[in-house]
Amino acid sequence: MKHKNIAESIATAFSGLMFALRHQKNSRYLAMIAIVVTAVSPWLGLSMTEYMILALTISVVIITELINAGLEYAIDLVTEDYHHLAKAAKDVAAAAVLVACGNAVAIAVIFVVSRVKGS
């Protein structure tokens, strides 16, 4: 599917995001967590650099979840039968989300601990 202009490309990407939020439970959970973290972050007194790190961290988690969901749909399109390579592909994509989430939690702990120690 070729797009005629940037507006169509953006509309298609937005449609994909909305599809994931409607049909992927984990995408909804991660979006809700991102909203809560973003809403609470002003009380941490973050620096501009820390806000950029927070935004990048949230983006990486959402991006990996969207790639994971897309890969799962593509694999399910090719086969619904069990295949060890299909399972491995899904597991590896899920591991990427796990690593991104672990990184996000570690950064959150660093931000909070540095505030508590700084008080």
Q: Residues with catalytic annotation? A: 65
What is the 8-class DSSP label of residue 28? H
HSE-up (13 A, CA, CB side) for residue 104 = 22
Within 10 Å of residue 37's Cβ, how many Cβ atoms?
17
Return phi, psi of residue 10, to 5°.
-65, -40
Give the pair of three-digit tokens for residue 65: 């979840």
